[in-house]
Amino acid sequence: MHPERPEPIDQATLWNGSAGQAWVDAQALLDALFEPIERRLVDDARRRSARRVLDVGCGSGATTLAIARALPAGGRGTGVDISQPLITAARARADAGTNADFVCADAQRHAFDAGAYDLLVSRFGLMFFDDPVAAFSNLRRAATHDASLCGYVWRSPAENPFITTAERAARPWLPRMPVADPHAPGQFAFAERDRVARILAGAGWADVAIDALDVPMRFPAASLERYFTRLGPLGRMLADVDASTRARIVSAAHEAFAPFVHGDDVRFDAACWRIVARSTTAAGAGGSR
């Protein structure tokens, strides 16, 4: 029996349902896990002397808030995400009077103020658009002339064995587990460097640089089971299996993750692309470099 190609997943439905709530519940774990990326994006904002920053796919707001705290007086960070549960969580953790705000919207289609931001950033939030060229064209309209885009996306599943460990361990018990379309909105949609470059060029971004980066990440080993049973495709599929099957999958996953467990920590290298680009005028013209 061969794995099936899944029907496309509506991102608004997904992230306003179980996936969004799972990320809210795991926000402390995810914030700690992705802190190395957050730190790099804060450094990007400082180096560029940014004053108005848009965080695309901001989740529960950790990166938006960290950048906002690093901005000069009068600076402001704005986070946008399609998930109402995550935006609600982001607003709840923002201190009164903070220089950050949060918008629940689809960044591909939202009517941002034109030329509002001098830096656009993203921590693994750029891979979920159903029309990436339209999305990056829309984001370019929101950028000032010569604004920078700085984002991090995942490279291929093969280069990220930790991320795919749970699904591989579970497949003997879930033979009909779908195999994702590599270009469909999702975690690895931007795995192909040349495709990402074409998308950005097609949306009119200039001076595109896409560099491979391996980022060491870690989180408490005590949180491992919560990580693989709540987040990602396996987390969603486990809700539909019986208790016996679930127990077998959980046991197999723990065994498969063993090489990544070092004492009290889970450690792995995140194989990423670091994307940097510069906005140009006349959004929608496309292709100018």
pLDDT mean across residues, the chain? 92
Q: What is the pLDDT of residue 285?
A: 40
Predicted confidence (pLDDT) at residue 110 exceeds the cutoff of 80: yes
Q: What is the pLDDT of residue 1?
A: 43
Predicted confidence (pLDDT) at residue 146 exceeds the cutoff of 50: yes
Predicted confidence (pLDDT) at residue 8 exceeds the cutoff of 80: no
Predicted confidence (pLDDT) at residue 84 exceeds the cutoff of 80: yes
Q: pLDDT confidence of 240, banded at 50, 70, 90?
A: confident
Q: Tell me the domains of the chain and their CATH numbers.
A: 11-156+181-220+271-278 (3.40.50.150)
Amino acid letter at 67?
A: I
Q: What is the pLDDT of residue 67?
A: 98
Q: What percent of the chain has pLDDT over 90?
A: 83
End-to-end CA distance of the chain: 47
pLDDT digits (tens, 9 = 90+) for 32-50: 999 999 999 999 999 999 9
pTM of the model: 0.92
Predicted confidence (pLDDT) at residue 152 exceeds the cutoff of 70: yes
Q: Is the Cα torsion angle 44, 48, 189, 158 positive or negative in sign?
A: negative
Burial of 274 by CB count in 10 Å (0-12 exposed, 13-18 middle, 19+ buried)?
A: middle
| CA pair distance 155, 162, nearest whole angstrom | 12
3-state SS assignment for residue 19: helix
Q: What is the pLDDT of residue 52?
A: 98
DSSP 258: G
Q: Cα–Cα distances in Å, from 249 out to 1, 69, 162, 176, 234? A: 19, 42, 16, 14, 10
Q: Which of 47, 71, 41, 43 is nearest to 59 (CA)?
A: 41
What tokens appear for 169 in the block? 């361990």
* Mean pLDDT of all residues in 160-167: 96
**In this predicted structure, which of 12-21, 207-216, 248-257, 267-276 has the lowest mean pLDDT?**
12-21
pLDDT digits (tens, 9 = 90+) for 227-237: 999 998 888 88
How many CB atoms are closer than 10 A to CB 73? 6
| CA pair distance 162, 151, nearest whole angstrom | 21
Amino acid letter at 92?
A: A
Q: pLDDT confidence of 7, banded at 50, 70, 90?
A: low
| CA pair distance 84, 231, nearest whole angstrom | 17
